[in-house]
Chains A and B, each alone.
Chain A
Amino acid sequence: MPTIEQAIATFGVTIDEHLDRHAEIPVLSGLQFQGDVAVVPADRDPARIPVPEIGVPIVRGQAEANTHLLLATGKAFFSPERFGGGMVLGVLTVAEGASAYLAHPEHAFTGIAPGTYELRRQREQAGEARLVAD
C-alpha cells in the first residue's frame, strides 16, 4: 500500500495540503466511492484502451480543479462509455500486477486492484434525474 506522499511523487499530481501525506492508500478490488464517482466491480468485457501516463480525466470539475483523474502503475485500460452523459462513465480493467488510482484534490487517492470495473457518476432526482457535481 503506497502512502499519499508516494503517490504524489509517482504521478506528479497535487492534492489538498491538509490531507495527511503519510496515510496509506488501500488498493481494493471491491466497491469504492470517491465523492460522486463509484468504482463498481463489473462482469463486463475488459477495456482495451491503455491509460496514458498523464492519466484520463474521468469527471472534469470547475476550472480543472476538481477533476477525478484515472492513473495507473503497470497496465490498466479504460474504455469510455460510447453514449456519454449517463451514469456509467466507462469500463476500467486493471491487469494482474498493476494498480489503478483515482486522484482528486479533495478526496486524495482511491487505489484499485486488478479486475474489471464500471466507473459510475452519482445522480440526483431533482425534478428529473441529474448528475452530481461535487
Chain B
Amino acid sequence: MPRAACGRDDTAAERRAWESAARACYQKIGLPFPERVVWVSSPLVGAFAAPIAACLSTGHRNNRVLDSVYRALDDTAGEAVGHAVRAAVRVAADGAVSDPVHGAAATALHAEIAETMGSAMASAVRERARVTPARKESAPPTSRNVPTGALATLATASQAAVGAAVDAAVGGPRQDTIRGEVRRLWRAHLAGQRSDTWLTLVGLFGQDAVPPLDEHRSWPTVAEQAAAQSAPAGWWWWPFRGFVMLCPRPAELYLEQVGEGAGVTHRPHRADGPTAVWPDGFGLYFWHGTHVTRAVIDDTLTADEILRETNVEIRRCAIERRGWDRFITEARLAQVGPAVPDPGNPGQTLTLHEVPADIYATRVRVLLCTNGTVERDGTRRRFGLTVPADCTDPLQAAAWTYGLTSAQYITAQRRS
C-alpha cells in the first residue's frame, strides 16, 4: 500500500463506503433508500437539522414555530450553527411535501426506522460477510486505527455536549411539535451507540476503496492532529424516511499515550484547545481523558467558579489545568505551618496548604514545590502535590511523597 494513501484523499471513498453501508441497512428493513443523502458539518448541526427536516418532510409546516426554533438555535449555539442547520434542512426536506403520510404518525416512523436499523445492521453484516467469503480472513477494519476506548469516550462526550446544546436551545418551557421532535429525534442517530456493528459494516463496503493505514504509522505516541485521519470517515448518521443525514469524523483529534509496552492505551487530551473539532468548529474538550467544558481548557473560570463546580472530576481537572500554585493564591488556601527551605534545592522553599473538603473523595492537603532545574525561559516550574491531610508540616509532606521520614528527607544532597 502506498504511504500517500494515508492522507485525506480517501475521504470521498470513505463517504461512499458509509453510504453503501447505509443503503444495505435500508435494504435489510425493506425500505427504499432515500434519494437525499446529506452530509452535515458536525454532530451538533445534524442533531438539529435531522429532526427539523423530518418534521418538514412529513407535513409540519408552521413557519412561525420553525422561525422561533431557528432563532433559539442562533441565540444558544451561535449563528454559524444556525445557518448550517438551515442549509442542511433545505437540502434534506425541500420539495418533500408529497409524502402521503403526514403528521405525528410520520415522524413516529422516523424513530422506528432508526430503532429497527440496529438489528438490521447486525444482519446486514452477517449477509455481507457471507457473500464476500474471500475477505473473511482479514479482520474488518472496524474503526481502523482508532483505539475503541478513545472512540467510545468521544462518542459519550459527543452525546453529552450535543444533549446540552439541545436542552439549551429547545429545552425551555415553550413547547411545540418541532421542539418536541428535536428533543426526541436527535437521539435517533446511529453509530454513536452501536459503533462496532456499524463500523464493521462500513468496513465491509470500504475494503476496496479504503486502504488500511500503514501499521507503522499507527497512533502517535503524543497528541497529534494526524490522529484524526485514522478515525472512521463518518460519525453519527440519522436514517430517516425521506433522507439520510451523515456527519463526518472530527477534522482534528488529539490523543495522549497512557502506560507503556503491551498495556499502552490512548485517551483524548489537549491542554490548549478542543481535543476533537469538527469542520464547523464544534469541539469537544478533554483533560487527560476527562470530558470537560471549554472554560476549563481555556482556563477562564474564577477560583470561586472552580470551587462551586459540582462534578468532582471536573473540579479537579480545572485545578490541574490552572496549576496548584496559581490556584492556591487565587482561592486563598490557608497555609499549614511555616515555609521551609527545600533540602537539596538551594534557594527554594516548600509550603503546605489546606484543600477544601469536597475537592477530593478523601481529605487532602497540597504541598507546593519548585523544580530543581530551570525551564527554558529561566524560571522554575512550581507545582502542587496532594498529600494526606494528616501531614502537619511541609517537610513531613515532602518526605511522604517519596515514602521517607522527615529525618531522612532533610539529608537530601541534591535535587535536579
Residues of A in contact with B (beta carbons under 8 Å apart): 16, 18-19, 26, 28, 30-35, 38, 40, 60, 62-65, 87-88, 106-110, 120, 122-128, 132
Contacts and interface: CB of A to CB of B under 8 A. Distances in A.
Contacts of A60: 260
Contacts of A28: 413-414
A4 to B, nearest CB: 10
B373 A107 contact: yes
B413 A30 contact: yes
Report which residue of B257, B364, B387, B414 has the largest number of chain A beta carbons within 10 angstroms of its beta carbon. B414
Given A31-B344, A87-B402, A108-B373, A126 B316 contact: yes
Nearest to A127: B361
Interface string B352-396: 000000001110100000011111100000000111100000000
B364 to A, nearest CB: 5
Interface stretch (B47-55, B120-128, B173-181, B403-411): B403-411
A110 B416 contact: yes
Contacts of A127: 360-362
Nearest to A86: B403
Given A62-B221, A87-B403, 13 more contacts: A19-B373, A30-B412, A32-B414, A34-B372, A35-B372, A63-B222, A110-B414, A120-B403, A123-B402, A124-B387, A126-B364, A126-B386, A127-B360
A33 B373 contact: no
B416 A33 contact: yes
A123 B373 contact: no
B8 to A, nearest CB: 24
B252 interface: no
Contact of A109 (B344, B374, B408, B416): B416
Given A40-B404, A122-B385, A32 B222 contact: no
A107 B386 CA distance: 22
B364 A125 contact: yes
A92 B144 CA distance: 43
Contacts of B374: 18-19
A63 to B, nearest CB: 4
A124 B52 CA distance: 50
Contacts of B364: 125-126
Interface in B213-240: 220-222
A46 B253 CA distance: 48
Report which residue of B371, B412, B415, B416 has the largest number of chain A beta carbons within 10 angstroms of its beta carbon. B416
A87 B345 CA distance: 22
20 contacts: A16-B376, A18-B375, A18-B376, A32-B344, A33-B344, A33-B345, A33-B414, A33-B415, A34-B372, A34-B416, A63-B220, A63-B221, A107-B416, A110-B416, A124-B385, A125-B364, A125-B387, A125-B400, A126-B386, A132-B401
B402 A38 contact: yes
Contacts of B316: 126
B256 interface: yes
Contact of A33 (B221, B372, B386, B400): B372
Contacts of B344: 31-33
A30 to B, nearest CB: 4
B118 to A, nearest CB: 37
A123 B360 CA distance: 16
Contacts of A128: 361-362
Contacts of B371: 35
Contacts of B385: 122, 124, 132
Nearest to B257: A62
A32 B388 contact: no
Nearest to A32: B414
Interface string B58-94: 0000000000000000000000000000000000000
A86 B364 CA distance: 20
Given A63-B222, A108-B373, A33 B256 contact: no
A122 B402 contact: yes
Nearest to B371: A35
Nearest to B224: A63
A37 B217 CA distance: 32
A108 B413 contact: no
Contacts of B416: 32-35, 107-110
Given A120-B403, A122-B402, A126-B386, A62 B411 contact: no
B373 A40 contact: no
Contacts of A109: 416
Contacts of B408: 31, 40
